[in-house]
């Protein structure tokens, strides 16, 4: 176990990452149903969000204009509450936590996408996610749903009214995609790239293969 990864207390912590329109969210419930059928307690959650306070902060981040530092501070404040009230207690019980985005999204969106200093994000990450023993809470496995931003935009246009981020241009999402690629390259033991441009069944097979490789 790396010095950055806090003990999971017997639980499983899995994050699903990718740009808007990658289709990651539709696979979370499939995994949850499979694990529940195996007798596991499963918490499906998201970031920003997962608690009353964090959901309130999410609405601000998604719909109110603000600069990148304000975004980052609100996202990490939501993450702190989410960790303390939901994620850590669930992992301590031995539950499986399936999280729709986590800190990698902050480095991809606010860092690479918005051009905010990643060194400042790293400081906030340590403040928010470090335990009393100096270990950093991270997912044990991150599934990165990688897709061309143009295709993702086509999917979004048919799905819902876009939020403040989803209305940004293709160049922004290219930077975000690059940010995810940098995070994946820096943590290959944690990341698994999923080709999200494939048909749903093929994507689901990739997800299952990644879980099976972990003995999950």
Give the global pTM.
Answer: 0.91
15 is in an annotated binding site: no
**Please, are residues 50 and 13 in contact by the beta-carbon 8 Å criterion?**
no
Enumerate domains of the chain plus CATH numbers: 12-38+102-214 (3.40.50.300)
pLDDT band, residue 3 (cuts 50/70/90):
very low
Residue 28 marked as a ligand binder: no
Is 147 marked as binding a ligand? no
Residue 204, annotated ligand binder?
A: no
Q: Residue 104 phi/psi, 5° resolution? A: -55, -35
**3 known member of a binding site:** no
- From the list 210, 192, 208, the residue with the least C-alpha distance to 200 is 208
40 within 8 A of 96, measured Cβ to Cβ: yes
Q: Which has the minimum average pLDDT: 33-37, 67-71, 77-81?
A: 67-71
24 belongs to an annotated ligand binding site: yes
CB atoms within 10 A of CB 132: 6
22 is in an annotated binding site: yes
Q: What is the DSSP letter of 5?
A: S
Note the pLDDT tens digit of each residue in 84-134: 999 999 999 999 999 999 999 999 999 999 999 999 999 999 999 998 788
Mean pLDDT of 2-13: 60
Q: What are phi and psi of 151, to 5 degrees?
A: -70, -40
In the chain the first and final C-alpha atoms are separated, in Å, by 17
21 is known to lie in a ligand binding site:
yes
- Segment 174-203 shows an average pLDDT of 97
In angstroms, the CA 54 to CA 83 distance is 10
């Amino acid at each position: 176990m790396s010095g950055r990864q806090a003990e999971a207390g017997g639980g499983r912590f899995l994050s699903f990452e990718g740009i808007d329109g990658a289709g990651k969210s539709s696979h979370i419930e499939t995994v949850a149903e499979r694990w529940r059928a195996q007798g596991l307690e499963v918490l499906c959650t998201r970031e920003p969000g997962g608690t009353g306070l964090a959901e309130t902060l999410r609405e601000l981040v998604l719909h109110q204009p603000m600069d990148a530092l304000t975004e980052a501070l609100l996202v990490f404040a939501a993450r702190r509450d989410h960790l303390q009230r939901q994620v850590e207690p669930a992992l301590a019980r031995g539950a499986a936590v399936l999280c729709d985005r986590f800190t990698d999204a902050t480095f991809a969106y606010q860092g690479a996408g918005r051009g905010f200093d990643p060194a400042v994000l790293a400081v906030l990450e340590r403040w928010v996610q470090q335990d009393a023993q100096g270990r950093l809470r991270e997912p044990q496995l991150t599934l990165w749903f990688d897709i061309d931003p143009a295709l993702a935009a086509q999917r979004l246009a048919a799905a819902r009214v876009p939020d403040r981020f989803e209305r940004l241009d293709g160049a922004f999402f290219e930077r975000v995609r690059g940010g995810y690629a940098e995070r994946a390259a820096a943590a290959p033991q944690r990341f698994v790239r999923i080709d999200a441009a494939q048909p749903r069944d093929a994507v689901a097979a990739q997800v299952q293969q990644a879980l099976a490789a972990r003995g999950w």
